[in-house]
A and B are shown apart, each in its own frame.
Chain A
Amino acid sequence: MARSNEPIWWSLFSAGGMVAAMVLPVLIVITGILMPFGLAGDDPLNFDRIHSALSQPPIKLIIFTVISLPLFHWAHRFRFTLVDVGLKSVSTLIAVLCYGLAIAGTIVSAVILWNI
Chain B
Amino acid sequence: MGEKEMSTYIRSVPNTWWMKRKPYFLFMIRELTSVFVAGYCIFLLVLVYKLTQGVEAYSNFVAAMRSPTSVALHLIALAFVLYHTITWFNLTPKILVLYRGEERIPQGLIAGTFYVGWLVVSILVAWLVLGV
Q: Kindly state whether residue A1 has any CB partner on chain B within 8 Å.
A: no
When distances are taken between beta carbons in the complex, the residues of chain B under 8 Å from A70 are: 37-38, 40-41
* A67 and B41 in contact, given A31-B74, A36-B65, A47-B55 (Cβ under 8 angstroms): yes
Which single member of A27, A46, A47, A81 contacts B44 (CB below 8 Å)? A27
Chain B: interface residue count, which band?
35 or more
> Is B118 among interface residues, defined by CB-CB distance under 8 A?
yes
Residue of B nearest to A55 (CB): B51
Number of interface residues of A (CB under 8 A): 53
Cross-interface CB contact of A116 among B15, B48, B71, B89, cutoff 8 Å: B48
In the bound complex, residues from chain B placing their C-beta under 8 Å from that of A34 are: 130
Would you call B88 an interface residue if the criterion is a C-beta within 8 Å of the partner chain's C-beta atoms? Answer: yes
- Indicate whether B28 reaches chain A with its CB closer than 8 angstroms: yes
User: Quick one: given A27-B44, A33-B71, A41-B132, are A74 and B88 in contact (CB under 8 Å)?
Assistant: no
A100 lies within 8 A of chain B by Cβ: no
Cβ contacts under 8 Å, B55 to chain A: 47
Given A17-B88, A44-B131, residue A28 in contact with residue B40 (CB < 8 A) = yes
Chain B hits for A78, CB < 8 A? 31, 34-35, 38
- Bound CA–CA A24/B117 (angstroms): 14
Instruction: Label chain B's interface by main secondary structure.
Output: helix
Known: A31-B74, A33-B74, A81-B31. A113 touches B130 (CB 8 A): no
Task: Convert B56-74 into 0s and 1s, putting 1 for each residue whose CB lies closer than 8 angstroms to a CB of A.
Answer: 0011001001110011011
A71 to B37, CA, bound (A): 8
Residues of A near B109 (CB, < 8 A) are none
For residue A12, give the distance in angstroms from its CB to the closest CB of chain B: 13
Contact of B51 among A44, A47, A74 (CB under 8 A): A47
- CA–CA, A68 and B42, complex, Å: 9
Closest residue on chain B to residue A101 by CB atoms? B38
Q: Which residues of A contact B (CB under 8 A)?
A: 16-18, 20-36, 40-41, 44-47, 49-51, 54, 63, 66-68, 70-71, 73-75, 77-78, 80-81, 84-86, 105, 108-109, 112-113, 115-116
The 5 sampled A-B contact pairs (Cβ below 8 Å) are A26-B121, A28-B81, A35-B62, A50-B58, A85-B15
- Starting from the known contacts A28-B78, A46-B59, A47-B59, 8 additional A-B residue pairs (CB-CB under 8 Å) come to A20-B84, A22-B117, A24-B40, A41-B130, A73-B38, A74-B35, A84-B18, A116-B52
